Amino acid sequence: MNVIAIDGSSSAGKGTLALRLAQELDYAYLDTGALYRGVGYELLQNGLDPQDEEAAVKVAKGLSVERMLSLQDDSCIRNEVCGKAASYVSRLPKVREALFEFQRRFALFPIKKDKTPAKGAILDGRDIGTVICPEAQIKLFLTANSEIRAKRRYKELQLKGLCVIYEDVLSDIIQRDKRDQERQTAPLKPAEDALVIDTSDMT
Ligand code: DC
């Protein structure tokens, strides 16, 4: 298993690093946050509450492999509302359980966007080094101080043409960190053998 696990908090730079490494090494890349966002999106689309456990589990179990593979390219899930919904559904152990097998298979049998097999996989998320691929050869854990992350996120949203207030973005990041770190199942924390990288002073 050639796997690079990249975990860390939101806007710490996981996605950017994962994508660049995947291009450089010609590995397949899976953004696992997109799976939780996808569950949140489906619930919201159907007028359901992201905190409704039964509904969230049903949606998570119902996602097809094709849909899970395509979610990371779906721009509809990249908004703050889906991000918040994702952070609620990701607290539910049964939702995590429903998405486990797909992530595990991707790590074991990585496939690239053109559907050809890859010689390795890069997965980014919150629990890749601890739960999904504890045997990954390389584990990175990215952090950055919350104000810097909020500024990055604020800039990104502005570039998308969205009208956002910096204080709201900051408070959202702080609350999301808290939910990710304090949940019972697979909380956000570095694996014991992870290399921790603080990206606060990096571009
Ligand atoms: O990385 P992101 O912002 O797209 O993730 C959305 C939410 O999903 C975030 O609150 C944490 C959660 N998540 C998770 O619990 N486990 C993962 N492996 C990836 C994301």
Determine the average pLDDT of the residues in 138-166: 93
Ligand 1 contacts CB of residue 10 (under 6 A): yes
Looking at the CA of residue 91, tell me the nearest atom of ligand 1.
15
pLDDT at position 126 is 95
pLDDT level of residue 66 (50, 70, 90 thresholds): very high
Between the CA of 26 and the centroid of ligand 1 the distance, in Å, is 24
pLDDT level of residue 124 (50, 70, 90 thresholds): very high
CA–CA gap between residue 134 and residue 58 (Å, rounded) = 27
Flag whether pLDDT at 53 surpasses 80: yes
pLDDT level of residue 80 (50, 70, 90 thresholds): confident
pLDDT level of residue 43 (50, 70, 90 thresholds): very high
Collapsing DSSP states into helix, strand and coil, what is residue 195? strand
pLDDT at position 162 is 85
Q: Which of 8, 5, 2, 7 is nearest to 145 (CA)?
A: 8
Mean pLDDT (the chain, rounded): 95
Ligand 1 contacts CB of residue 127 (under 6 A): yes
Flag whether pLDDT at 1 surpasses 80: no
Q: Which of 39, 117, 126, 35 is nearest to 72 (CA)?
A: 35
pLDDT tens, position by position, 99-120: 999 999 999 999 999 999 999 9
pLDDT level of residue 51 (50, 70, 90 thresholds): very high
Flag whether pLDDT at 56 surpasses 80: yes
pLDDT level of residue 77 (50, 70, 90 thresholds): very high
Between the CA of 24 and the centroid of ligand 1 the distance, in Å, is 24
CA–CA gap between residue 40 and residue 31 (Å, rounded) = 15
Largest CA distance in the chain: 44
Determine the average pLDDT of the residues in 131-138: 97
CA 56 to chain centre: 17
pLDDT at position 203 is 85
Which contacts of 15-19 are long-range, i.e. CB under 8 A and separated by 24 or more positions?
15/124, 17/124, 17/140, 17/142, 18/122, 18/123, 18/124
CA 137 to chain centre: 20
Q: Is the pTM of this model over 0.85?
A: yes
Ligand 1 contacts CB of residue 180 (under 6 A): yes
